[in-house]
Structure 1
């Protein structure tokens, strides 16, 4: 049987800008890029830790809408990091918005929620401090 893998694809208004944000802010590595006839990327694959994900442009004709087009995102992306305060601060310094403050939680983690500049929601979590 072939190995099964879920590969999230984040729909964004500008894949180049999103790819740069995820590389610069979260330390993702770009591993693949395909461009359309106009030279704009149709898909950019990134690797964040050991987790691959992709970004693609919003294409209304295909039903591909960004969270900003829809008025929000029903999906939470959770990243477990060594220093959630540092990662959250870096995200907001580059245009993200704090939705839930990063702080110690009663369930034994330090976490909070951040909306990136493209409308995607991230739970940034790590060990208690």
Structure 2
């Protein structure tokens, strides 16, 4: 096993600064680094930390093969976050521009979960513990 490997998912978006603001407001992500703007005025990468995880956002650049979900006609990846209160996180994401794809509810597989599409087309599964009353 290779314990020296670290994984940093990178979300490709049209506007990294707008996406960074969304992830900070909706998920409580902390921006830890932003590269200086490139020739087109957008940073090539913005690093974030949320809980014990890190992720990056970068601009869509077709010449590099960096395509956003809109360029692809949908998201090719599901991002799953496990949180203490999935309802609150889902509501906060929607309040900042995400849309509900699958409502957050108790599921027969023992989790409370649902799915939202963020304003940049990325799909997020938000899950947590079951609610005893199911609401």
User: When the two structures are superposed, what TM-score results if normalisation uses the length of structure 2?
Assistant: 0.91
3-state SS of paired residue (2:94): helix
Q: For 2:79 and 2:42, how far apart are their aligned partners in 1?
A: 25
Structure 1 runs of 4+ with >3 Å offset? 36-39
Give 1:122 deviation, angstroms.
0.2
Paired residue secondary structure (2:18): helix
Which residue number corresponds to residue 88 of structure 2?
86
Q: Describe the SS at the equivalent of 1:35.
A: coil
RMSD across aligned C-alpha pairs, in angstroms? 1.2
Match of 1:11 in 2: 12
Q: How high is the TM-score relative to the length of structure 1?
A: 0.95
CA distance in 1, matches of 2:91, 2:3: 40
- 2:11 partner SS: strand
Displacement, 1:24? 0.8
Cα distance per residue 1:49-89 (max 9 Å; x no partner)? 11111000000000100001111012000000111111111
Residue pair 2:61, 2:67 contacting (<8 A) in 1 also: yes
| Counterpart-to-counterpart distance in 2, 1:85 and 1:13 | 28
2:84 matched to 1:70? no
Task: Determine which structure has the larger strand proportion and give its number.
Answer: 1
1:36–1:2 CA distance, 2 compared to 1 (3 A): farther
The residue that corresponds to 1:26 in the other structure is: 27
Paired positions, count: 129
CA offset digits 1:13-59 (Å, max 9, x no partner): 10000001001110000111102344421100000111111000000
Q: Please, which runs of 5 or more residues in structure 1 have no aligned partner?
A: none
Partner of 1:120: 122
